[in-house]
Structures are given as structure tokens and as C-alpha cells.
Amino acid sequence: MTKYFFLFSTAQGITYEKFLEHRGYAGPGYIPKHPKEGDAIVDGTILSIEAPSDNGPAPSSTLLAECKKLAAANGTSKVLISFDAITCPFARLYSLAEL
């Protein structure tokens, strides 16, 4: 804690404990909850952001189905999915640069 305490000093109104409360995944000892290599992943329903021409409900699909279509359209079997936050500086500078 002392090594990084200067970043979270009480003079700025932020404590290291408050930081860990809101960003626990960034602290020592955090155990990730993501699927391990080889584990099955959830294939949930997704909705298209493109409005249908008849103003009906947005077409739905699954994440896996869309990944397979994207891979086939590009002649590969691999697709990278990056779950980024629009407020993340790394995402804004690199991941979302081409959007």
C-alpha cells in the first residue's frame, strides 16, 4: 500500500481503501472470475443496432453465430472480441480508433 499511496492521498479526497472498494480487481490478491482456457463460454442473445426496414423489432442472433459469420466472411476461423468501455483511454486510443 505504501508504494502507491501517493496516488490516492486523502488530500485529494481519495483513499486507497476507497479505490479498492470500487476497483477491487486492481488490488493484490484478486482472483479473476473469467472462464479459464478450454471452458465453455456463454452464448447469449444479441440484438442488431441496425433498424429493420419495417420498423419492427431489431433482429436477434447469438454472439457465437455472428462470430462464425464474421470469420467465414474474412476467410478465417478466428475472431477477436474486445469488451472495452468507451471511457477507457486505451480503448479510445487503440481499440476504438477505427470505429
- Tens of pLDDT, residue by residue over 41-88, are 778 888 887 777 777 777 889 988 999 999 999 999 998 887 777 787
pTM value is: 0.48
- 45 and 91: one domain? yes
**Number of domains the chain contains:** 2
DSSP for 79-92 reads -------TT-HHII
- 14 and 42: one domain? no
- 59 and 92: one domain? yes
96: containing domain: 37-99
- 17 and 41: one domain? no
pLDDT above 70 as % of the chain? 84
pLDDT of residue 99: 64
- 81 and 46: one domain? yes
Cβ contacts of residue 5 below 8 Å, gap of 6+?
A: 16
Determine the Cα–Cα distance for residues 52 and 61; give it in Å rounded to an integer: 14
- 94 and 46: one domain? yes
pLDDT of residue 2: 47
Determine the Cα–Cα distance for residues 69 and 61; give it in Å rounded to an integer: 11
